[in-house]
Amino acid sequence: MIGQLIFALCFAGSLFFFSKNAKQIYRNIRLGRAVDRFDKPSERWRTMLLIAFGQKKMFKRITPALLHLFVYLGFVIINIEMLEIVIDGLFGTHRIFSFLGGFYDFLIGSFEWLALAVLLSCLVFLIRRNIVKVNRLQSKELDHWPKTDANLILVTEILLMSAFLMMNAADLKLQLYGFEHFKSVGSFPVSQYLLPYLPTSTSTLYMIERSCWWFHIMGVLAFLNYLPYSKHLHIILAFPNTYFSNLDPKGKLSNMTTVTNEVKAMLDPSFTPPPSDAIIRFGAKDVQDLTWKNLLDAYTCTECGRCTASCPANITGKLLSPRKIMMDTRDRATEVGHNIKKNGGFVEDSKSLIDNYISREELWACTSCNACVEQCPVNINPLDIIIELRRFAVMEESQAPTSINNMFGNIENNGAPWKYAQMDRANWTQQQ
Ligand code: SF4
Ligand code: SF4
């Protein structure tokens, strides 16, 4: 009874803290401007099913895709097992779903194979990160916490899967001994091989089974509460993020509503822009000037680096890394969120996304080629953020690199990006 009570308290506490942290992330995402991503629901569902559930873009690289698929399936399917663990924990039962008979055996057997696949995949991932040192996982922006975060997640998953298999092995041995309520149920194709390494004393076996049970469930609850602080949040956010993907043709830059309204007002003095389009500033200086989708992108980023590995600016040694753009945006949104929480509203902190997090050099290194957007396995768009920050630099501060300023001057004076006067445009048609 005491065990049930402790379990119920831990379970309720972890759900409470998770929902509290989730609400804060939701509030941070809502800091962004409005953008309509609720049209074409059938196309959106299709995109989400293909990209998030189907992992379509992951399969551009088969080995990491397969390993990731195991971890993903393991996460989704083994969590069905959690339902049984939670019910057992709350009501003091043991393997409550065993009444399913043969189907239960099939389920437990599948969970064990998946647990083994997850465990081995995580081991390979650890080796790729720390021993083989795959290039895209070694950038400067991953130093310190991001690297620790990634390793922590992998080690936790290995420990959780090991505890799951060890719990089953102890359970099976107790079943074979006919110990108390451990009736013969389930199929254990993987954990049966652990039996020779377990002690023969039933009281020790029972202790191992219970310890692993508690470790597994407490580990999962702790993991749930760790998600909001980790890149692993993508296991939840990948679904809404792909649903709200930009469905416009790739590479199409959005018009600025504020500019469109200004032009409309110039052409038609009676035109009054809707209040929701009131100009705060052109482009984006800080996270509040981006859209909520940009911020959802930032919180969904898995820090996998596929974008950076395909970025021509990064490949040619420029400072720009689209992954860092997303990490900086997330970090700044979190900082603004803390500011609001502490002060009951945003209090100016003399910081902004541009300059304090993302430098001009990074911004102007972008060729707007769209490769990062194309590569991202969860449809994140770093280019959108870069363009908005550039728009701010140009339209609000009149700051752009000299080469671009020359082009602006030419457009203004000659109606074309070149330095020739309009009347000389057709000169090239004349024979010399
Ligand atoms: S759009 Fe910019 S950031 Fe993205 S890959 Fe191309 S150059 Fe890099
Ligand atoms: S933006 Fe996409 S591709 Fe780039 S690191 Fe994040 S998840 Fe990976």
DSSP string, 371-386: HHHHH-TT---HHHHH
How far does residue 386's CA lie from ligand 1's centre (Å)? 9
Please give the distance, rounded to the nearest whole angstrom, from the Cα atom of residue 139 to the centre of ligand 1. Answer: 16
Residues written for the chain: 432
Task: Identify the residue whose C-alpha is closest to ligand 1 atom 6.
Answer: 369
Backbone torsion region of residue 34, taken as left when φ is above 0, otherwise alpha when ψ lies between -120 and 50, otherwise beta: beta
- Beta bridge partners, 358, equal 354
Three-state SS at 366? coil
- Give 374 Cα–ligand 1 centroid separation in angstroms: 10
280 three-class SS: coil
For the CA of 251, the nearest ligand: 1
The answer to whether the predicted template modeling score (pTM) of the entire model surpasses 0.75 is yes
CB 422 within 8 A of CB 414: yes
Residue with CA nearest ligand 2 atom 2: 376
Residue 47 corresponds to which tokens in the numbers above?
């995109």
Give the span between the Cα atoms of 25 and 279, in whole angstroms: 26
Task: Determine whether the shortest distance from the Cβ of 380 to ligand 2 is under 6 A.
Answer: yes
Rounded Cα gap, residues 280 and 282, in angstroms: 7
Nearest ligand 1 atom, CA 310: 5
State whether residue 422 is helix, strand or coil.
helix
Ligand number with the minimum distance to the CA of 304: 2
Identify the CA nearest to 274 among candidates 37, 34, 40. 34
Atom of ligand 2 nearest to the CA of 302: 7
Ligand 1 — pocket residues by CB below 6 A? 311-313, 320, 322, 366-372, 382-383
Tokens of 74: 């393991």
Residue 301 near ligand 2, beta carbon < 6 Å: yes
Q: Give the pLDDT confidence score for residue 422 in this predicted structure.
A: 82
Strand pairing partners for 33?
291
- Closest atom of ligand 1 to CA, residue 375: 5
- 241 C-alpha to center of ligand 2: Å? 12
- Residues facing residue 354 across a β-bridge: 358
Give, for all 432 residues of the chain, the pLDDT tens digit: 777 888 889 889 999 999 999 999 999 999 999 999 999 999 999 999 999 988 889 888 888 888 888 888 877 776 777 788 888 888 878 888 888 888 888 888 988 999 999 999 999 999 999 999 988 888 889 998 999 999 999 999 999 999 999 999 999 999 999 888 888 877 899 999 999 999 999 999 999 999 998 998 888 889 889 999 999 999 999 999 999 999 998 888 888 888 888 888 888 888 887 776 666 788 999 999 999 999 999 999 999 999 999 999 999 999 999 999 999 999 999 999 999 999 999 999 999 999 999 999 999 999 999 999 999 999 999 999 999 999 999 999 989 998 888 998 899 888 888 888 888 888 888 866
**Measured between alpha carbons, how far is 125 from 121 in angstroms, rounded to an integer?**
6
**Residue found under tokens 């939670």:** 86
Total Cβ atoms within 10 A of residue 352? 19
Which atom of ligand 2 is the closest one to the Cα of 303? 5
Q: What is the DSSP letter of 25?
A: H
Residue bearing the CA closest to ligand 2, atom 8: 304
Spatial contact of 205 and 198, defined as CB atoms under 8 Å apart: yes
C-alpha span between 46 and 27 (Å, rounded): 27
